[in-house]
Amino acid sequence: FTEAKPFHLMFKTFAGPVEDSGAVCYLRPETAQGMFTNFANVMTTARLKPPFGIAQVGKSFRNEITPGNFVFRTREFEQMEMEFFVPPDEADKWFDYWVQQRHEWYIKLGMSSDSLRLRPHDAEELSHYSSGTTDVEYDFPWGWGELEGIANRGNYDLTQHANASGEKLEYFDQTSGERYVPHVIEPAAGATRTMMAFLLAAYTEDEIGGEARTVLRLHPRIAPYKVAVLPLSKKDTLTPLARSVHAQLAEFWMTDYDETQSIGRRYRRQDEVGTPLCVTVDFESLEDHAVTIRDRDTAEQVRVPVAELVATVRTKLGF
């Protein structure tokens, strides 16, 4: 072994034009601390009392020694965190609640329960501030990996910020006359690696009519486009109606409009990006004022009057 060398997990930089010791700063390794410092502001201005949460999505930076597995471990990443402030005697109850809620969230958005597991941390794994931590893990091609950690952080963070700033970060219950520093339950997820897991779970290769296809079976809520409008032809006779149908749908959902190449190729393109529904406008539509809705997963097609299109799409998507 070589001699030990200093290593810092946070990225060091300088704020301002002068690079001296007074200008040293660090890129944040997590989004959490900004929410702790804003605890009193949010509680006062929004007139809240525990239990309540502050959530944030943002960039974090860590000087990882061994980044790898594509976007699973990177030095710059997107993070989703929530600090949920609770009365001290309710911390264990809320910890169990958020572990189950976060586990179910992945399943509701399309992951198989067989590909997910909850892994409580052993005592020697726990962070110094945590009385309990459970990871939500996904079975990646290289093995199980963490998507999210749910931690019972106690009152450690609020207490440390209060000691350093001299400002009280506590809640006074006027009904009971009790004053306390809330405990915190923190679900913290990696948004980048979570999206990769959703893509892996959704990627499918199957066969329709003797033809192989690639399809992303994304849950409609996380599909980039919810609907695609596909006029059968680029002829001027179809375009006005197709554009009108697109405008109706785009008012409610992210909607694509594609009129290039054959209808079969366009179906395949939408399958590959995970669009749940395709709406085809054909020449019959000019006569019967109806369109065809194609389902991504089953490839089944149904004819629907234009007047009922929005209601039908809402039912099929579920929102």
Fold of 210-317: Rossmann fold (3.40.50)
Per-residue confidence (pLDDT) for residue 126, from 0 to 100: 87
60-69, 113-122, 212-221: least confident range? 60-69
CB atoms within 10 A of CB 138: 24
- Which tens digit of pLDDT belongs to each residue from 127-174? 888 989 999 999 999 999 999 999 999 999 999 999 999 999 999 998
| The pLDDT of residue 6 | 86
Domain limits, CATH 3.30.930.10, in the chain: 12-199
User: Strands 24-26 and 12-14, how do they pair?
Assistant: antiparallel
Q: Residue type for 136, please?
A: V
pLDDT attached to residue 140: 95
Residue 110 backbone zone (phi > 0: left; psi -120 to 50: alpha; other: beta): left
User: Who's near 312: CB < 8 A, 6+ residues apart?
Assistant: 293, 304
pLDDT tens digits for range 236-257: 889 999 999 999 999 999 999 9
pLDDT at residue number 127: 86
> Quick one: pLDDT at residue 66?
85
pLDDT at position 154, please? 94
- Judge contact between 150 and 186, C-beta under 8 A: yes
Question: Among residues 160, 102, 100, 91, which one has the least CA distance to residue 132?
Answer: 91
pLDDT at 209: 80
Whether pLDDT at 179 is above 90: yes
pLDDT at 128: 87
Q: pLDDT band for position 210 (50/70/90)?
A: confident
CA distances to 54, 141, 315 from 277, rounded to whole Å, are 35, 29, 12
Q: Tell me, what's the pLDDT at 142?
A: 92
Q: Where in the chain is the domain with CATH 3.40.50.800?
A: 210-317
- What pLDDT score does 277 carry? 98
Residue 111: band (very low, low, confident or very high) from pLDDT cuts 50, 70, 90:
very high
Alpha helices, DSSP H, located in the chain: 32-37, 39-45, 91-108, 156-165, 191-202, 239-250, 263-273, 285-288, 309-317
User: DSSP state, 9?
Assistant: S
Q: pLDDT value at position 211?
A: 85
Q: Is the CATH number 3.40.50.720 carried by domain 12-199?
A: no
* Cβ atoms of residues 267 and 317 within 8 Å: no
